Structure 1
């Protein structure tokens, strides 16, 4: 697998190159670039299978580079410092990223995910670039990866989610449920800021999709699709507090 590293910090480029020799010796770094313009030329020249791309560079951003490559066919891993807004956008788009300074274990895990994925780059970039322009309170477009496709939905279309081992089943408005290769923990982290609450170990609900709270025969909520979702005892107070804030 041929890789290219695009980052305006030489030490960062060399660090990733060195780590790759330790955790993925079948990946060959064929070139490095230090910015948007040199990165575009490097990609055109080497046609890599994998690109590590910094977000903030002296002559522009990684997003600027991608906008000029509308039909790229390589796997993509972003390199970034703690940019919370960008990290949130990455999670919604199901894009791989590494925080600087890069940790070897995280790099190895990321490479394993890259090997297993066949990303639809056009869909992924559509989600990423749209969410980068959203305000924090707006519904977000989310890329959900199932075994055979990437589904693009808005967060307010999700009624509730249910844990299924290492997967999460998403129940949506007027659509069949989707079994997504994402843990409930990751789903909770992504959706909680958007008006969702994990009311039970196995259940995450959209608070705006509750139709009734039933206090008889055990505490549970009825969702707009008719599903009854149990509420853990320790989550009752949090549920009522969050509903008051709506």
Structure 2
């Protein structure tokens, strides 16, 4: 796993040191970017630092944990509240905390909370990666190329060589005019958002290149080049036929 960073905020130094020790023991991949007893210092540091997880005490002098969050410019990190008072739980989750740990910290409770945070971070990074890919797909399609991420790398296929895209168990099979096929780990939906007007989704699992359409069969199939038959759903028949009026 790539290095992750955390900030710890608690007005008692013994609590900070104890949490730091537990994190170093159970999650060595998490680097402690800062530990703060003063909520004012914590606010300044958080606003100036990019990090992944905030471990935040609730009851602190002058500024409690909830008010601290309202003074931040952005909250683009996971929040785990650590406190001695269980009656703060409901309000904690209203603040979009990933979890809530009572003091003294139980090792298992800490592990569960951190694993939740790490899962959220991983999911968010995957979304960002997918978003970047979609942007790349869109830009490349404008240049008459379709990007196909595969297990071996990335293929750049001219639109006219893509005859049919088929969704299969979360993957996408790209059928080419030379009768070869590429398999991508990205689902059909990701390609659908990026493909241009030459392509038509005729079925929940099938997208065809309209330039390769040769025949429409009333029983529910579209015939492409090389007599390749693709099913078309009843709900998409009318939209498909209107394309040729």
Q: Give TM-score scaled by structure 1 length.
A: 0.46
Structure possessing the higher radius of gyration over alpha carbons: 2
TM-score, normalised relative to structure 2: 0.46
